[in-house]
Amino acid sequence: MKKKYFILNRLKSVRYAFKGAYLLITTEASLKVQFFIGVIMTIAGFYYQLSPIEWIIQILTIALIMAIEGLNTAIEEMANFVHPEYHKKIGLIKDFSAGAVFIFAIAAVIVGCIIYFPKIF
């Protein structure tokens, strides 16, 4: 009996996770842009016939940038909920969160250059 509820709860968790991913991709402008870039990079990967290792690196990079952006969005939404009007500390927290996305975005561009420059030039 207990195992049955465990499985049902896990299925509910997966449903909530899909809902969250769908909401992020369909409502957040930065996620839409990153999703679009991910699609373009996936098409480029097929065109330039990436090796299995390059595919793994590219998929992980795309997934990580989108996941970090999702966390950034969650932090911003929570901060806005806790303190709707401007507050210096909340602004600092949001800046830190956005900075984390920016740092990984730079790394993602570098990874893309390492993978694609030898294929293009």
Residue 28 designated active-site: no
With tokens 């952006």, the residue in question is 69
The active-site residue out of 28, 54, 69, 77 is: 69
Half-sphere exposure of residue 86, counting CA atoms within 13 Å on the CB side?
1
Q: Which of 29-48 are b and which e, b meaning 16 or more Cβ less than 10 Å from the residue's Cβ?
A: ebbeebbebbeebeebbeee
Q: How far apart are CA 89 and CA 68, in angstroms?
A: 21
Which residues are annotated as catalytic?
69
